[in-house]
Amino acid sequence: MNSNHQLAPAEHYAENLATQLRKGFLTYCVLLICSGAPKYTSDILQRLSAAQLVVVEGTIYPLLNRLQKDGLLEHEWQESDQGPPRKYYRLTPYGEQVAASLQSHVSQLHKTLTSIEKGSKQ
């Protein structure tokens, strides 16, 4: 098989890996965004978009629901000047612990990746 035939499967394989990485990374980013003051869904989406991580509502709502079900997020309803009350999300104490642990893991992964990238350029 020549390299032209391998390109499409290689791109497909890489895309699948990137999707898996993105899912975990998105969860981590949402936890970081929801730390501190409660956040409205559109605020979360705007922060992700500003960081060039574009996410649609069809992705964010299931993620927020899963994080709530898993006990990492809680919500509160706040009155809105423009329509019905809005649901705001924030980390639970357990969510804060998970986010802190993830931050440590991500930092270590970044160091590892940087080290490997430097070594591969030599």
What's residue 118's pLDDT?
Answer: 86
33 three-state secondary structure: helix
Q: Are 90 and 74 in contact (CB under 8 A)?
A: yes
Q: Are 73 and 64 in contact (CB under 8 A)?
A: yes
Tell me how far apart the alpha carbons of residues 68 and 60 are, in angstroms, rounded to a whole number: 12
What's residue 61's pLDDT?
Answer: 96
Tell me how far apart the alpha carbons of residues 52 and 100 are, in angstroms, rounded to a whole number: 23
Tell me the pLDDT tens digit for each residue of 6-47.
668 888 899 889 889 888 899 999 999 999 999 999 999 999
State if pTM tops 0.95. Answer: no
* CATH class of the domain at 24-120: mainly alpha
DSSP type of residue 84? S
